[in-house]
Amino acid sequence: MSERRPKDLEPVAGNGLLHRRLFLKGGAAVLGAGSLGLMTAAPAKDLPPWMGAPGRPLSGYGSRSPYEDHVRRRLLAATGADGAGGSWTPLEALEGMITPNPLHFERHHSGIPDIDPDRHRLLIHGMVDRALFFDMDALSRYPMVSRIQFIECSGNSYLAGLPRQPINDTCGVLHGLVSCSEWTGVPLSILLDEAGVDPDAGWIMAEGADAAAMNRSVPLAKAMDDALLAVYQNGERLRPEQGYPLRLFLPGYEGNMSIKWLRRIKVTAAPSMTREETSKYTDLLPDGRSLIFTYPMDVKSVITSPSPGLVLKGPGLYQISGMAWSGRGRIARVEVSADGGATWGEAALCEPVLDKAVTRFRMAWRWNGAETAILSRAVDETGAVQPTREAIIAAKGRKFAYHYNGIQAWGIDSEGQVANVYA
Amino acid sequence: MSERRPKDLEPVAGNGLLHRRLFLKGGAAVLGAGSLGLMTAAPAKDLPPWMGAPGRPLSGYGSRSPYEDHVRRRLLAATGADGAGGSWTPLEALEGMITPNPLHFERHHSGIPDIDPDRHRLLIHGMVDRALFFDMDALSRYPMVSRIQFIECSGNSYLAGLPRQPINDTCGVLHGLVSCSEWTGVPLSILLDEAGVDPDAGWIMAEGADAAAMNRSVPLAKAMDDALLAVYQNGERLRPEQGYPLRLFLPGYEGNMSIKWLRRIKVTAAPSMTREETSKYTDLLPDGRSLIFTYPMDVKSVITSPSPGLVLKGPGLYQISGMAWSGRGRIARVEVSADGGATWGEAALCEPVLDKAVTRFRMAWRWNGAETAILSRAVDETGAVQPTREAIIAAKGRKFAYHYNGIQAWGIDSEGQVANVYA
């Protein structure tokens, strides 16, 4: 392997972080005659075997390469409750902003119902002028919109920062209860307007058609703002795990409120105080009180590569790649540190940077082979800055399990092994 | 079914086309107390059977609902050539901008090779200072970028407009050799700079690792501009049909040039005049001469719903939804006609409108139940206007098979049946 030194790669922070212009159009020019030096040795001169005969034929619905079979969601089934549990998106194996549908994280309260779309109905009732029923065919005739937005479980990342000792597992297991898709559906406001909402109403209650009849209260203002009745996900009809044939989608709000298999919306004056907003999905504070109705997911980021399970193969140039998102709007900036948080450089954000979507950030890093820790810190357009683990624990203690958004540090040892560390 | 008349839906063109503000944020307000009147009758009062017991469990890699199994690519295998052929994306069943990976169109010249990514190499050679080899591991360390962009076979839509009598098939079969994904990979310019391109070079030749060793010439200017060495598609590694583990991606250019299973790039002074740019992929003109190297795909649009196979169920409100794209840049405007092209109204474009990406357009339409034809016409940011079928045939005859981008008319009869018509 040839290793030439690039001459024009400008450091922007300590321990080898390079300027983001390498990721911008025309960025290659900054290399000049320099070389990143990552080429490999020539293979044997024989043609590869797969060029010797015609390959596999066309198919109606494709599948991935068998060499990628190891890229799977990790499952955690709850004990004592049929069909309850979650599965994590393997973030460390993915790139870009979109999560492919088969790898979108799951969280079910009583398994995945097998719904016949021709028999599914949505009822809108309660404090309205007239109750309305819709079947999927009727909904398909209403004006639809499409938006690329994330959904995140409120319990995401709790495992990464709140235990007293750092748990070592993949980035996906620690942070993979977040996924990002293009959602297409009918704005809920259109149907609520059609039903005629009572001026004294202030909330809705949304209920799913699973065996748990999972339900949550949502402020009417959110329902009338950007709530969608989602029918499509990344171009195709919703996957069963994501609520086929119809889910509520509440951009930026904790995932469990985006009720899957949506069958009923009741307009109410006050919150319904359902099981999932009293026994769960509240945040216990050190003084014994609980926060309730903590809906928006706060600004967060995580480096997906390098991350635990991926090994750096010797000193030299690496791409640092990660995801940032905020339930309160667009990502404004992501900073990366390669010296344990002592100095920070600004990462390149991949366009388009969209409202309440995952934003991919990237940075070039020349690793010198010494032990260190790499971190990322996101800032959203409201000015909110992703906090440190220490600041969160100081403010909220460690008894809560939802809405943890602390800065993640990955330790890298001199062998290039990556681990979750409390830096 | 209740049918109330909306009061505030403003017509913008003949035969019931309504203003696009219905699709914009706050659009519901224009309905006022009016109703779109598409609700359905109440179902029986019993709970649906799928609420009676816990549903299916979590899974590592999800699959779609069995009720969606009919949504498949349509296959056309070429006779006399193993593994050669194409499959069309079922556009009429999809929504939004993203094509899910299992439904991305295919076009193979000798089937799909089953490549071991650990044994795959990319060679860059020819008129360079030094030949370079890369394995997938080395490539993963270079700076990457992600872009949502379409890829379209140059032969797309030929069947829709050039036969003397209109062929009646689905929108997917007539126009489905186009798909749109988020592609992530390394800018080719970075690797060419590293190899050191000879100042006298003007072209590259790219070659695939399939049994056809499919190869094409690409102007060096395009290679240095926005060409990608794509590794990921919609977040996950490329699908085998799309070139796993590595493909060239040339935004806006005819699809066959985005060489799949990329194994070799040779820098040359002149085009290599390969089989696929001499015996094929040229456009025969009426005077017997052929156009060659006709790379960018021109501005095009098509209404995907309603389209053949989908039936309008009686007079009333419908959403017209379609796709527009241009290999020369962003879509500037899409116009829709519901009276056979006599009058046109402007459709709502779904944000974000991206460079060389599919843009979803939508329009509300109140069908009066009478026979008519609906059409769409796209304009891109260069000012190029999608031409009529008649204008194309007058200029280029009917002997060519590539780069057909005529306006598509769908006829609708009084029963609500939709068909390809030459309006």
Chain A closest CA to B392's CA: distance in Å?
A: 31
- DSSP of B59-83: -SS----GGGTT--PEEEEPTTSTT
CA dist B152 and A369 (Å) reads 44
Give all strands (DSSP E) within B63-202, no chain letters. Answer: 74-77, 85-88, 106-108, 121-126, 132-135, 145-152, 178-187
* Option in B22, B239, B350 nearest A146 (CB): B350
Q: Which residues on A lie below 8 Å from B53 (Cβ)?
A: 211
Query: Residues with Cβ < 8 Å from A163, sequence gap 6 or more?
Result: none
Which residue is associated with the tokens 């973030």? Answer: A91
Residue of B nearest to A93 (CA): B236
Q: CB burial class (10 A; 0-12, 13-18, 19+) of residue A398?
A: middle
Mutation site, A30, A47, A61, A183, interface B, largest B CB count within 10 A: A61
B58 vs A73: CB contact, 8 Å cut-off? Answer: yes
A352 vs B354: CB contact, 8 Å cut-off? Answer: yes
Q: Which residues on B lie below 8 Å from A73 (Cβ)?
A: 58-62
CA dist A98 and A148 (Å) reads 8
- Looking at residue B347, its pLDDT comes to 97
Chain B closest CA to A225's CA: distance in Å?
A: 8
Mutation site, B3, B24, B65, interface A, largest A CB count within 10 A: B65
**Cα distances (Å, whole numbers) of residue A104 to A51, A179, A197, A370:** 35, 6, 34, 36
* Option in B83, B104, B114 nearest A57 (CB): B83
A54 vs B316: CB contact, 8 Å cut-off? Answer: no
- Looking at residue B28, its pLDDT comes to 54
3-class DSSP state for residue B290?
strand
Query: Residues with Cβ < 8 Å from A290, sequence gap 6 or more?
Result: A282, A283, A284
Mutation site, A51, A142, A198, A362, interface B, largest B CB count within 10 A: A51
CB atoms within 10 A of CB B415: 10
* Option in B38, B55, B263 nearest A211 (CB): B55
Q: Which residues on B lie below 8 Å from A237 (Cβ)?
A: 64-65, 68, 71, 93
- Looking at residue A39, its pLDDT comes to 76
Residue of B nearest to A67 (CA): B116
- The first and second tokens of residue A24, run together, are 């911008």
- DSSP of A20-82: GGGGSTTGGGGGTT------B----SSPPGGGSS--B---SS----GGGTT--PEEEEPTTST
pLDDT digits (tens, 9 = 90+) for B263-309: 999 999 999 999 989 888 888 888 988 889 999 999 999 999 999 99
- Looking at residue A4, its pLDDT comes to 42
Which residue is associated with the tokens 């800018």? Answer: B187
CA dist B246 and B191 (Å) reads 14
**Of A266, A184, A273, which is closest to residue A229 (Cα–Cα)?**
A184
- Looking at residue A46, its pLDDT comes to 81
pLDDT digits (tens, 9 = 90+) for A318-374: 999 999 999 999 999 999 999 999 999 999 999 999 999 999 999 999 999 999 999
CATH number of B117-286: 3.90.420.10
A38 vs B244: CB contact, 8 Å cut-off? Answer: no
Chain A closest CA to B394's CA: distance in Å?
A: 36
Chain B closest CA to A336's CA: distance in Å?
A: 15
B230 — phi, psi (to 5°)?
Answer: -80, 135
B236 vs A364: CB contact, 8 Å cut-off? Answer: no
Is residue A297 within 8 Å of A326, Cβ to Cβ?
A: yes
- Looking at residue A3, its pLDDT comes to 40
A240 vs B62: CB contact, 8 Å cut-off? Answer: yes
Q: What is the mean pLDDT of residues A284-302?
A: 93
* A–B interface: beta-carbon pairs under 8 A: 403
Beta bridge partners of A394: none
* Option in B95, B98, B146 nearest A350 (CB): B146
- DSSP of A262-320: EEEEEEESS----GGGTTSS-EE-TTS-EE----BPPPEEEEEES-TT----SSEEEEE
| pLDDT cut 70: percent of chain A above it | 95
B64 vs A237: CB contact, 8 Å cut-off? Answer: yes
Q: Which residues on A lie below 8 Å from B120 (Cβ)?
A: 48
A75 — phi, psi (to 5°)?
Answer: -100, 140
Residue of A nearest to B114 (CA): A50
CA dist B149 and A114 (Å) reads 34
A237 vs B111: CB contact, 8 Å cut-off? Answer: no
Q: CB burial class (10 A; 0-12, 13-18, 19+) of residue B82?
A: middle
pLDDT digits (tens, 9 = 90+) for A199-211: 999 999 999 999 9
CB atoms within 10 A of CB A33: 12
**Cα distances (Å, whole numbers) of residue B348 to B341, B364, B375, B406:** 18, 9, 15, 21
Which residue is associated with the tokens 């092994």? Answer: A417
Beta bridge partners of B18: B11
- The first and second tokens of residue B33, run together, are 């107390």
- Looking at residue A10, its pLDDT comes to 79
Chain A closest CA to B364's CA: distance in Å?
A: 7
3-class DSSP state for residue B395?
helix
CA dist B176 and B181 (Å) reads 14
Mutation site, A7, A50, A79, A330, interface B, largest B CB count within 10 A: A50
Burial A82-116 (b: 16+ CB within 10 A, else e): bbbbbbbbbbbbbbbbbbbbbbbbbbbbbbbbebe
Residue of B nearest to A214 (CA): B51
Mutation site, B70, B98, B130, interface A, largest A CB count within 10 A: B98
3-class DSSP state for residue B31?
helix
CA dist A68 and B324 (Å) reads 33
Chain A closest CA to B298's CA: distance in Å?
A: 23
* Nearest-5° Cα angle at A238, A234 to A241: 115
- Looking at residue A303, its pLDDT comes to 98
Query: Residues with Cβ < 8 Å from A150, sequence gap 6 or more?
Result: A178, A179, A180, A325, A356, A357, A358
Instruction: Return the minimum-mean-pLDDT range out of A55-64, A142-151, A162-171, B274-283.
Output: B274-283
- Looking at residue A32, its pLDDT comes to 47
- The first and second tokens of residue A362, run together, are 């990237």
* Option in B32, B100, B112 nearest A55 (CB): B112
- Looking at residue A26, its pLDDT comes to 57
Mutation site, B149, B236, B311, B362, interface A, largest A CB count within 10 A: B236
3-class DSSP state for residue B311?
coil
B133 vs A42: CB contact, 8 Å cut-off? Answer: yes
Q: Which residues on B lie below 8 Å from A117 (Cβ)?
A: 65, 67
CATH number of B300-421: 2.60.40.650
3-class DSSP state for residue A87?
strand
A27 vs B190: CB contact, 8 Å cut-off? Answer: yes
Query: Is the pLDDT at A77 greater than 90, yes or no?
Result: no
- Looking at residue A11, its pLDDT comes to 87
Instruction: Return the minimum-mean-pLDDT range out of A162-176, A409-423, B215-229, B268-282.
Output: B268-282
CA dist A48 and A43 (Å) reads 10
* Option in B144, B237, B241 nearest A362 (CB): B144
Is residue B210 within 8 Å of B109, Cβ to Cβ?
A: yes
A114 vs B28: CB contact, 8 Å cut-off? Answer: no
A141 vs B317: CB contact, 8 Å cut-off? Answer: yes
3-class DSSP state for residue B24?
coil
Query: Residues with Cβ < 8 Å from B305, sequence gap 6 or more?
Result: B92, B319, B320, B321, B322
Residue of B nearest to A99 (CA): B235
Is residue A217 within 8 Å of A273, Cβ to Cβ?
A: yes
Query: Is the pLDDT at A5 greater than 50, yes or no?
Result: no
Instruction: Return the minimum-mean-pLDDT range out of A116-125, A126-135, A157-166, B7-16.
Output: B7-16
pLDDT digits (tens, 9 = 90+) for A127-136: 999 999 999 9
CB atoms within 10 A of CB A53: 12
A58 vs B77: CB contact, 8 Å cut-off? Answer: yes
All residue ranges of chain B with pLDDT < 50 are 1-7, 32-33
* Option in B50, B97, B182 nearest A114 (CB): B50
The domain ranges of chain A are 117-286, 300-421
- Looking at residue A250, its pLDDT comes to 98
A111 vs B56: CB contact, 8 Å cut-off? Answer: yes
Burial B92-119 (b: 16+ CB within 10 A, else e): bbbbbbbbbbbbbbbbbbbbbbebebee
- Looking at residue B283, its pLDDT comes to 86
Q: CB burial class (10 A; 0-12, 13-18, 19+) of residue A131?
A: middle
Chain A closest CA to B206's CA: distance in Å?
A: 15
- Greatest extent of chain A over all pairs of C-alpha atoms, in Å: 78
- Looking at residue B27, its pLDDT comes to 57
